[in-house]
């Protein structure tokens, strides 16, 4: 049996990555569409063989509650819309997958978790790297403390180019645009899976942004502190390219470089072991893992509770950059 997935939001990531990846999955398949732009439906229906009866708009999506062919709604819309769409999805009684970052604030994340709990459905976040086989090798090195106790880490995730346009949600702070929400979440999440530790404070942070109302951050840099005193550096940008997760330990180091492109990640260790070769189709692996976790009633690799913790770190980074002060990070327990 395969779970039926309905994609909510037929934008760039849905069309470029998730729908194609759902053609390769073994335990779930694309069976439904939910869009605010119904003119997109005919092309999608034909390309992916989706029935008209499984096609919805934002106005009709609540009717999906009566559709037994759909098991999961995958929310792939701008970040500031995740909470409302995820809560509506949960209220239809379908399981919810939601893209990163989970939402704008820890409170919004909690609303999503509560809605899923109240409806008896599951909630997973689309952290594709956490499912990627070479990244899982890096996580194992940390879990085993293969190079001794950890002494430090850094995670850099950014892409180069022009500043995002203010016409697009990626150039609008209130929609969840900007380096920290869009790309910085990879560094925050990477430091979490790379160290398997929860940070206790943002020691310091800086953000550069353009000078207009609703301007997004173009680059953000931050330092996290962990219980015991270890520090980690994070850096993210939408105007400069970097892509690396590095873990330092008493007896060596290991890293993913690059840490998060779609085409696959590879890395190495201080004693010359390779974390490779690059594996593609991270999204297929992610969705199959999450489908199996639903069918077998086992833990998700990236549940909503984890997404909330990372959003709380993002909020503390923003607060620290604004105040110039150290900020304690909440919700890490
Ligand atoms: P996009 O702009 O290409 O598509 C967004 C879609 O949401 C569009 O179809 C748009 O019509 C729809 N939408 C619904 N409500 C909207 C609103 N109020 N304003 C604007 N558009 C609205 O964006 P995208 O690149 O597909 O990103 C969507 C989500 O996926 C974001 O949360 C992003 O962070 C995430 N994403 C994740 C990855 C990944 O590798 N995991 C990669 C890209 C994007």
Q: Report the share of the chain in percent with pLDDT over 90.
A: 98
Backbone angles phi, psi at 160, to 5 degrees: -90, 160
Cis peptide before 137 (omega within 30 of 0): no
- Beta bridge mates, 96: 73, 123
Q: Which is the CATH superfamily of the domain at 130-279+301-328?
A: Dihydrodipicolinate Reductase; domain 2 (3.30.360.10)
ipTM: 0.99
Mean pLDDT score, 316-324: 98
Helices (H), 49-132: 82-91, 106-119
Q: Identify whether the C-beta of residue 180 lies closer than 8 Å to the C-beta of residue 318.
A: yes
**Residue having the nearest C-alpha atom to atom 35 of ligand 1:** 99
**Residue having the nearest C-alpha atom to atom 2 of ligand 1:** 11
264 lines ligand 1 (CB under 6 A): no
**Residue having the nearest C-alpha atom to atom 6 of ligand 1:** 11
Q: Which is the CATH superfamily of the domain at 3-125?
A: NAD(P)-binding Rossmann-like Domain (3.40.50.720)
In the reported structure, the alpha carbon of residue 78 is separated from the centroid of ligand 1 by a whole-number distance in angstroms of: 4
DSSP state of 199: -
What are the residue ranges spanned by the domains of the chain? Answer: 3-125, 130-279+301-328
Q: Identify whether the C-beta of residue 134 lies closer than 8 Å to the C-beta of residue 266.
A: yes
In the reported structure, the alpha carbon of residue 170 is separated from the centroid of ligand 1 by a whole-number distance in angstroms of: 9
- Report the distance separating Cα 100 and Cα 78, nearest Å: 10
- Report the distance separating Cα 135 and Cα 286, nearest Å: 12
Short-list 280, 268, 256, 117, CA closest to 194 = 256
> Which residue of 7, 8, 9, 40 sits with most ligand 1 atoms within 8 Å of its CB, as the best mutation to test the pocket?
9
Asked if the model's pLDDT at residue 263 lies above 90, the reply is yes
**Residue having the nearest C-alpha atom to atom 9 of ligand 1:** 11
Residue 206, pLDDT score: 98
Residue 188, pLDDT score: 98
99 lines ligand 1 (CB under 6 A): yes
Average pLDDT of the chain to the nearest whole number: 97
Counted residue by residue, the chain has a size of 333
- Report the distance separating Cα 191 and Cα 229, nearest Å: 15
276 lines ligand 1 (CB under 6 A): no
169 lines ligand 1 (CB under 6 A): yes
Tally the C-alpha atoms within 13 A of residue 115's C-alpha that lie toward its C-beta.
Answer: 23
pLDDT tens track for 189-211:
999 999 999 999 999 999 999 88
Residue 71, pLDDT score: 99
Instruction: Work out the pLDDT band at 165, boundaries 50, 70, 90.
Output: very high
Asked if the model's pLDDT at residue 139 lies above 90, the reply is yes
Mean pLDDT score, 164-174: 96
Cis peptide before 258 (omega within 30 of 0): yes
Do 130-279+301-328 and 3-125 have the same topology in CATH?
no
Q: In sequence order, what E strands does the chain have?
A: 3-8, 28-35, 55-57, 72-75, 95-98, 123-125, 150-158, 201-209, 217-225, 231-237, 242-249, 252-256, 267-269, 274-275, 327-328
Q: How many CB atoms lie within 10 A of CB 298?
A: 10
Instruction: Work out the pLDDT band at 250, boundaries 50, 70, 90.
Output: very high
pLDDT tens track for 30-66:
999 999 999 999 999 999 999 999 999 999 999 999 9
178 lines ligand 1 (CB under 6 A): no
Edge-to-edge strand list for the sheet holding 327-328: 274-275, 267-269, 252-256, 242-249, 150-158, 231-237, 217-225, 201-209, 327-328
**Residue having the nearest C-alpha atom to atom 21 of ligand 1:** 78
Residue 211, pLDDT score: 86
Helices (H), the chain: 12-13, 19-21, 41-48, 82-91, 106-119, 133-143, 179, 185-195, 282-296, 304-323
Mean pLDDT score, 281-301: 98
132 lines ligand 1 (CB under 6 A): no
């Amino acid at each position: 049996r395969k779970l039926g997935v309905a994609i909510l939001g037929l934008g760039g990531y849905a069309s470029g990555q998730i729908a194609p990846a759902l053609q390769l999955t073994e335990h779930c398949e694309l069976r439904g569409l939910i869009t605010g732009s119904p003119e997109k439906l005919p092309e999608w229906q034909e390309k992916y063989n989706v029935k008209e009866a499984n096609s919805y708009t934002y106005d009709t999506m609540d009717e999906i509650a009566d559709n037994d062919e759909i098991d999961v709604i995958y929310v792939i819309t701008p970040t500031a819309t995740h909470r409302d769409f995820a809560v509506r999805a949960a209220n239809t009684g379908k399981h919810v997958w939601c893209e990163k970052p989970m939402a704008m604030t820890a409170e919004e994340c909690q609303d999503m978790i509560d809605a899923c709990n109240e409806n008896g459905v599951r909630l997973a976040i689309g952290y594709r790297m956490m499912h990627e086989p070479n990244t899982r090798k890096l996580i194992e090195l940390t879990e085993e403390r293969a190079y001794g106790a950890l002494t430090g880490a850094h995670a850099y995730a950014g892409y180069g180019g022009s500043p995002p346009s203010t016409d697009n949600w990626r150039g609008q702070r209130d929609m969840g645009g900007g380096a920290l929400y869009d790309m910085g979440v990879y560094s925050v999440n990477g430091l979490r899976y790379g160290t398997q530790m929860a940070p206790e404070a943002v020691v310091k942070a800086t953000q550069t942004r353009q000078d207009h109302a609703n301007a997004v951050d173009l680059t953000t840099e931050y330092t996290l502190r962990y219980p015991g005193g270890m520090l980690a550096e994070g850096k993210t940008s939408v105007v400069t390219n970097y892509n690396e997760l590095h873990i330092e330990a008493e007896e060596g180091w290991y890293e993913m470089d690059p840490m998060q492109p779609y085409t696959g990640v590879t890395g190495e260790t201080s004693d010359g072991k390779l974390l490779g070769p690059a594996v593609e189709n991270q999204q297929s692996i992610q969705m199959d893992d999450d489908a199996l976790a639903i069918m077998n009633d086992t833990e998700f690799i990236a549940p909503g509770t984890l997404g909330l913790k990372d959003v709380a770190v993002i909020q503390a980074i923003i607060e620290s950059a604004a105040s110039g002060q150290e900020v304690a990070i909440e919700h890490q327990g």
